[in-house]
Every structure is written in C-alpha cells, then in structure tokens.
Chain A
Amino acid sequence: MGCQNMTGFVDLYSEGGTFLHRIDARVKIVAVLFLSVLAFLLSNVYSLTLLLAFIFILLFLARASLSRTWFALRFVIRFMVLIVVLWPIFDPSGTPVWATFGPVKITEPAVWRGVTSAVRVGCLACVWYILMFTTSQRDLVRALVKMGLRFDFGLALAISLRFLPTFSATIDSIKDAERARGMELDKGSLLKRSRNYVAILVPTIVSALRSADTLSLALHSRAYGARADRTYLREPKMRRQDAAALSVVIALLVVPVFFKFVLGVPL
C-alpha cells in the first residue's frame, strides 16, 4: 500500500518537551529566517560546514532521531549528492584542472563550489526541518497571524495543512475503489493509462470540492466572519527565555556579517 501513513510525511512535527519545542514560535520563525540568510551570506565552505555542525547540535538538542531525520530529508540528501556531482561538469572555470573527459573539464575550484552549494542546501533544509519538527502546525499558524498575517489567510493555511493527510487518504481510497472494479492503473497503452488517471482525478476533485463546500458551511454556522476582529483563547507571550533566545539569534547573524563585511574576514 505504501501510502497508508502519509501523515508522517506531511506533518513533520513530533511532540516533545525540549527547550526548542517550548520556545515561542515567532522566535523560531525569525531564527530560521536569519539562519537561512546566514547560509546565503557565507561563501566559505569551512564556515558553512561550521554552520551545518551548529544546526546538527540543534537537531540533537531537539531530540530528533537519526532515522526520522533521514526519512524527512532523504530527498534533500539525494539533491545534495546531485549538486556535488553535476556542478563540476557544468562549471569548467578555474585552475588547476583535475581531469578532462572530452569537452568536460573538472577543475578544483568548481568541485569546491559544488560542495559549498550542497552544504548550503543542507543547512537550509535542516534549519527548516528543525522548525517543522519542533513546532505544531497550530502554533506555527498562530505565530504567523500574531506576526501580522491576516487571520483568514492563517485559517486557510491551517485548513490546507490539516486536510493534506485526509486528502491523501481519499486518493488511496479512490484508487482502491477503481481497482476493485477491475481497473489496472499501469496497464495498457499510454493513452489508456492516462485515461485511467481520469478515474482517479475526477472523484478526487469532486470530493475535495464537496468537502470544501461542507467545510465553509460548517465555518459559517459557527459564526465565522461575524466580526472582523477576533479574540484568542491562548495568546502567545514572549517570556524571558524567548527574549534571550532571540538575542542569541540576532547575534548569530550580526557577528558574522560584521566580520565578513566590516572587517573583511573571508567567511
């Protein structure tokens, strides 16, 4: 079946009590943005590796198990390998030249540039993974709304995230229903196979539209949109440790920027 447990794929969040879980989601969002900017600013493979090591320590502190992280990032890791392999093939600049295969020239600086980019991609993926791993979708949306996202946009986001697993379960069920009527999805000519997917697509779209329609009625019947402003049961509050974490995050960005752009250290 393979797709039975899509929730693990869609929702990376894992409940936990580490300080990374408890920290205000707004601080985490700012931290992730800052660390992403930092990953783009750093162009030296050593400093990027240092950043990656720092992010790995954070992963460790969030108690993300190795197998779960591998599962969540398996596509990113393939992508990183691809970058390292392809970069030198398409970038012939610089010396010394390590090897020549016909028109393809493999140079040392190009290999390093490939590695640097791969590490950068790794940093970005891991840092966003920490956010998704330690923050529930509910907290994430609430933080975004608190940071100025319009409430209805936030609700739309929350609903789409909430319905992803439901949606994939519906698709599985539809596939089963058509198979039970003797359809063989991957048999026949290309035309026949693409026609087969119509049998999956139509009920999927129809049931998505039907549930969207029902959902909007359910929202309205619970007085959604009755008032423009809205009160909240739980207001996220910045605590002392959140403020401390935020200042660490700011320092993490400002110090390297100072060293790189003011003092001219080649970071």
Chain B
Amino acid sequence: MIPCPTADEGPIAAMRNVDFSYDDGTEALHSVTLDVWRGEHIALVGGNGSGKTTIAKLLNGLLRPSRGHVLVKGNDAAKESVAALSRTVGYAFQNPDHQLFCSTVAEEVLFGPKNLGFADAKAVEKADRALSLMSIGHLKDKAPLSLSLGDRRRVSVASVIAMDPEVLVLDEPSTGLDAGEAAELMRALDGLNQEGKTIILITHEMRLVAEHSERVLVMAHGHVVLDCRTRVAFSEPEALHESGLIPPAAIQLAHRLSDFGVSPEVLTVDELAEEVAKVWGARI
C-alpha cells in the first residue's frame, strides 16, 4: 500500500532530533529524525548495535529520548505511559521467551487485549483473529513455553497483533522460522498492511526487505544513513555495503547483468526472471 499523507493527518509516529544514551554511557542514537506514515511497510535495517531496537523501544515509550521528541499520533510520547502508547504502537520482542508466561496459548494472546480494557467478547474476537493470522489456531490449548521456537515466536507475534495496534514493530520476527514459516509470517503481515496497518520490520534478511517492504531505513552507528524507497536503496549497493548490508542474490545478479542490458532495478527473483526473459527472450 502506498502511503498517502493527507493535509489533515500528520505522521502516525515521528522522531524529531532524537538522541539516546543508555545508562552505561553508550550513545545509541544521534539526532534521529524520521516520519512514519499510516499504512507504510518499512524495513529498519543495519548492523548489530546500529540502533534499530533502540528506535523501536523509543516509539512505544519503553525508552525515553535523552534529547529531542518522539511523537505518536501527533502527541508528545513523553507524556504518555507505555500502556497507553502500546494501544498505537505494538512491539514484538526479539526473544519470544521474554514475554510468554501463561499456561495456554489462548490466554497468552488474550493478555494484551485484556490489559487494554477491551470487553471480553471483543478481546476474544481479536485474539482469535490473531491466532488464525499466525496459523496457530490449532495450538490454542497448548502451553506456550512447551512449543518449538518457531511456534513460540508466532505466539509472541500473535499476542501483539491481538492488541490491534495501528503500528506493528517486529524485531527480527523471522529468526528461528524455516523458509516456509517465514514466508507465511510475511504473508500475514502483508495482509495486515493491506488493511491499513503500519508495519515496521527489523530484520537482517535482505530478501524479506526486497520482497515485502516499500521503504527502507538504514541505520549505522546511531544515525539514519539512508531513508528511501526499497527499489532506490537496492539500486545503490555501495551505500548498503558501507552499513554492512548485502543485497539479496537476485539483486546482485541483476547488477552483474546490467552490462548486458538487464535493468538493475529489480527486487525479486520473479522480476529478475521477467527482465532476463525480456532481454534474452527476443534473441533465443
């Protein structure tokens, strides 16, 4: 979905000249300014320790900026509690084991909506929808902590989706999932995005970024070094290389083949195949 900022609606979440240092003195962010618009599908990428998770935690109030402002729906996030912000910005943690504690998957997924004060029927409805989106409806009565890592991760993502936030921040959600599970997860996220939810995906997997996100934020040493359309980001691999990121194989191949007339602006294997067929199909 292409975001269409309208005059009456500002960015759903934004950061203005935000600096952040941890208590031990580590400077995690330097003067970060960014806008997140309703309905965007953003990938937040960068090396380990570049500040991705810090941005995520600032957006939902788990961390507070040392300087600058975080705005959620136009309001200064500094004045709101984490619980209040979690209504708008949902954050699925990197390690699913850090949030699972209930005795059944169903209870686990209900925990968030209940905290937000949804009526019982409404909460159950939201939980059921989250379970089916993550395709874990059949695990409803299982103990979450006894599941495989892949399933635990899907439960933890479902438990955030169930809160029905307008912005979903997912911290490396595909870690520990096999290719099929990861594809399924991404399809579910794309579906939510189609409905108008804003997705912010933190990941190291450039293939997922190329295939699913329309905008890329590249972080390096606490700075946003690149903020543009995904297609533009991957068309200049040098900038990515500097941040320790390597484009997926299809894009690399397209760049190697650009001397032969293949457009280097492809993102997916399908696009590359199409492009190759177009260039050589005529000749063969």
Residues of A within 8 A of B (CB): 1-2, 4-5, 7, 170, 173-174, 176-184, 198-203, 206-207, 210
Interface residues of B in 79-93 (CB under 8 A from A): 81-83, 86-87, 90-91, 93
B98 pairs with A180, CB closer than 8 A? no
How near does chain B come to A38, taking the closest CB pair, in angstroms?
38
The 21 sampled A-B contact pairs (Cβ below 8 Å) are A1-B63, A4-B22, A4-B23, A5-B23, A170-B98, A176-B57, A176-B93, A176-B98, A178-B101, A179-B82, A180-B99, A180-B160, A181-B112, A182-B115, A182-B116, A182-B163, A201-B101, A202-B100, A203-B101, A207-B98, A210-B97
B87 pairs with A182, CB closer than 8 A? yes
For chain B, the count of residues having a C-beta within 8 Å of the partner chain is: 29
CA distance A179 to B90 in the complex (A): 11
Q: What is the chain B residue whose CB lies nearest that of A178?
A: B99
B23 pairs with A207, CB closer than 8 A? no
A5 pairs with B24, CB closer than 8 A? yes
Does B268 belong to the interface (CB within 8 Å)?
A: no
Give the 4 A-B residue pairs with the shortest CB-CB distance, closest first.
A182-B115, A202-B101, A177-B99, A4-B23
Q: What is the chain A residue whose CB lies nearest that of B111?
A: A181
A198 pairs with B95, CB closer than 8 A? no
Q: 5 new A-B pairs (CB below 8 Å) besides A181-B159, A207-B98?
A: A1-B23, A2-B23, A180-B86, A181-B86, A181-B112
B83 pairs with A182, CB closer than 8 A? yes
Q: What is the chain B residue whose CB lies nearest that of A202?
A: B101
Known: A203-B101, A206-B145, A207-B98. A180 touches B23 (CB 8 A): no
Query: Looking at the complex, which one of B83, B98, B112, B163 makes contact with A174 (CB distance below 8 Å)?
Result: B98
What chain A residues lie within 8 Å of B111 (beta carbons)?
A: 181, 183, 199
Q: What is the chain A residue whose CB lies nearest that of B113?
A: A182
What chain B residues lie within 8 Å of A174 (beta carbons)?
A: 98-99
What chain B residues lie within 8 Å of A182 (beta carbons)?
A: 82-83, 86-87, 112, 115-116, 163
Residues of B within 8 A of A (CB): 22-24, 57, 60, 62-63, 81-83, 86-87, 90-91, 93, 95, 97-101, 111-112, 115-116, 145, 159-160, 163
How near does chain A come to B214, taking the closest CB pair, in angstroms?
25
CA distance A199 to B101 in the complex (A): 6
Q: For the complex, would chain A's binding face be called helix, strand, loop or mixed by DSSP majority?
A: helix
CA distance A109 to B159 in the complex (A): 65
Q: What is the chain A residue whose CB lies nearest that of B103?
A: A202
How near does chain B come to A169, taking the closest CB pair, in angstroms?
11
CA distance A170 to B98 in the complex (A): 8
Residue of B23, B81, B100, B101 with highest tally of chain A CB at under 10 A:
B101
CA distance A184 to B90 in the complex (A): 15
Residue of B22, B23, B99 with highest tally of chain A CB at under 10 A:
B99
Q: What is the chain B residue whose CB lies nearest that of A179?
A: B82
Query: Looking at the complex, which one of A7, A176, A180, A206 makes contact with B97 (CB distance below 8 Å)?
Result: A206
What chain B residues lie within 8 Å of A198 (beta carbons)?
A: 101
Q: What is the chain B residue whose CB lies nearest that of A201?
A: B101
What chain B residues lie within 8 Å of A202 (beta carbons)?
A: 100-101, 145
Q: What is the chain B residue whose CB lies nearest that of A198?
A: B101
How near does chain B come to A265, taking the closest CB pair, in angstroms?
50
Q: What is the chain B residue whose CB lies nearest that of A210?
A: B97
CA distance A180 to B59 in the complex (A): 11
Q: What is the chain A residue whose CB lies nearest that of B82?
A: A179
What chain A residues lie within 8 Å of B160 (beta carbons)?
A: 180-181
What chain A residues lie within 8 Å of B100 (beta carbons)?
A: 202-203, 206
Q: What is the chain A residue whose CB lies nearest that of B100?
A: A203
Q: What is the chain B residue whose CB lies nearest that of A187?
A: B83
B101 pairs with A180, CB closer than 8 A? no
How near does chain A come to B260, taking the closest CB pair, in angstroms?
49
CA distance A2 to B22 in the complex (A): 10
Known: A5-B23, A180-B60, A181-B159. A203 touches B98 (CB 8 A): yes
What chain B residues lie within 8 Å of A199 (beta carbons)?
A: 101, 111
How near does chain A come to B99, taking the closest CB pair, in angstroms?
4
Known: A198-B101, A202-B101. A180 touches B22 (CB 8 A): no
B62 pairs with A180, CB closer than 8 A? yes
What chain B residues lie within 8 Å of A184 (beta carbons)?
A: 81, 83, 115
What chain A residues lie within 8 Å of B23 (beta carbons)?
A: 1-2, 4-5
CA distance A259 to B206 in the complex (A): 77
Q: What is the chain A residue whose CB lies nearest that of B108?
A: A181
Q: What is the chain A residue whose CB lies nearest that of B25?
A: A5
How near does chain B come to A95, taking the closest CB pair, in angstroms?
53
What chain A residues lie within 8 Å of B145 (beta carbons)?
A: 202, 206
B98 pairs with A179, CB closer than 8 A? no
How near does chain A come to B117, taking the closest CB pair, in angstroms?
9
How near does chain B come to A188, taking the closest CB pair, in angstroms?
10
How near does chain B come to A218, taking the closest CB pair, in angstroms?
18
CA distance A182 to B145 in the complex (A): 21
CA distance A203 to B93 in the complex (A): 13
Known: A174-B98, A203-B99. A183 touches B83 (CB 8 A): yes
How near does chain A come to B68, taking the closest CB pair, in angstroms?
18
CA distance A202 to B111 in the complex (A): 14
CA distance A170 to B163 in the complex (A): 24
